[in-house]
Amino acid sequence: MRAIWKGAIAFGLVNVPVKVYSATEDHDISLHQVHNADGGRIRYQRRCEVCSKVIDYSDIEKAYEDGGRTVVLSKEELKSIPAENSHEIEVVQFVPSEQLEPMMFEKSYYLEPDSKSPKAYVLLRRALEDTDRVAIVQFALREKTRLGALRIKDEVLVLQSLLWPDEVREASFPALDESVRISAQEREMSAALVESMAADFEPEHFTDDYQVQLQKLIEAKLEKGDSLDTDETFGAEAGEGGKGEVIDLMEALKRSLDRKRGGGSAAAAGDGADGEDESESDEADDAGTEGSAKGSAGKAPAKPAAKPAGTRTAAAKSPAAKSTTAKSAAAKSATAKSSTAKSTAAKPAAKASTTRARKGA
């Protein structure tokens, strides 16, 4: 396991340095989205609505909108909030465990001693054991001040983050306000049913049937050969380290060789048409986040029949090229107009000369 955070439990005048680890993990089979027509990966881009560019994660800030005005908060400003800089898990009170509403439990963390001597850690653990109570604590983690419960599991201190009271919704169902009559016989029969199914809870005896059946479905499709080459599912906008980067490198090398060998105007035109790529990367999150993605602003749509899968499309011509083309078109238009005007002016003169020649004859 890798520690996600370091801090210290403030237990009166006792300071208990600890490392914090996620106590749970997700074992669900990871699935991604693809286009049903060709199996190509579906990727999501962080695109700016003002400049239409794909933005790197490092260039993204957070903001709050209020009454038509947006307040942008930089990473430095958020880190300057005192609570965010605190690495203290403050014990505020000790309560009976039965007073904690299970609905308030959010996420669990293991705490490991982070000092040469674990004496202070063991002392706090013994205090919880001897009094049979749970410590209510306050701490800050990932830009949020949190409420938590500190208890013991297998000789290890466990920190469970709790929802704030206003985050738990109240249940109000009018149907339950109606008076319902239940007979004594119905109650006895329901109690007998409960008793017949009574047992000690052993979680290892339960399995996630959906994941088991999903795995069998995947294995069956693999055995039948009903699958795609993974590299072929990566398109021109492949993520960092994906197939797209390899194709780009090979294409660049090929064009460089063509240029050195005098590959002709087609190769030169191809080089001039390439746009700039803007890559982005994601930072890891403890829940597992979506992977990195790449994108290019201003690219022309790819023609399916023109290039093999995974080849990047040529970007639109540069502004300079557009300007040169526009000037050339304007010059041609001016020349054409001048020729037309001269031709029109010459026609009356030709007619007059022909008339004089006939009279003289």
Give Cα 110 distance to the centre of its chain: 27
What are 97-150's pLDDT values in tens digits?
999 999 999 999 999 999 888 999 999 999 999 999 999 999 988 778 899 999
What are 196-205's pLDDT values in tens digits?
999 999 999 9
What are 229-241's pLDDT values in tens digits?
888 888 755 444 4
> Residue 162: what pLDDT?
96
Give the least confident one: 87-96, 217-226, 247-256, 265-274: 265-274
Neighbours of 141 (CB within 10 A): 21
Report whether pLDDT(43) > 70. yes
DSSP state of 90: E
Cβ–Cβ < 8 Å for 177, 147 = no
Cβ–Cβ < 8 Å for 4, 286 = yes
Q: Which residue has the higher pLDDT, 300 or 122?
A: 122
pLDDT confidence tier of residue 270, bands split at 50, 70 and 90: very low
d(CA 258, CA 251): 11
> Residue 12: what pLDDT?
82
pLDDT confidence tier of residue 14, bands split at 50, 70 and 90: confident
With pLDDT > 70 as the criterion, what percentage of the chain qualifies? 65
pLDDT confidence tier of residue 78, bands split at 50, 70 and 90: confident
Average pLDDT over residues 20-29: 92
Question: Using alpha carbons only, how large is the chain's radius of gyration in Å?
Answer: 36
Report whether pLDDT(336) > 50. no
> Residue 256: what pLDDT?
67
Give Cα 262 distance to the centre of its chain: 44
> Residue 236: what pLDDT?
59
How much of the chain is in helix, strand and coil states, percent to nearest 5? 40, 20, 40
> Residue 82: what pLDDT?
77
d(CA 40, CA 232): 7
Handedness of CA 283, 284, 289, 293 (dihedral sign): positive
Report all structural domains of the chain as residue ranges with CATH numbers, in order of start: 5-25+33-167 (2.40.290.10), 230-333 (no CATH)
pLDDT confidence tier of residue 249, bands split at 50, 70 and 90: low
Report whether pLDDT(344) > 80. no
Helices 265-273 and 243-260, interaxial angle, to 10°? 140
What are 138-197's pLDDT values in tens digits?
998 877 889 999 999 999 999 999 999 999 999 999 998 899 999 999 999 999 999 999
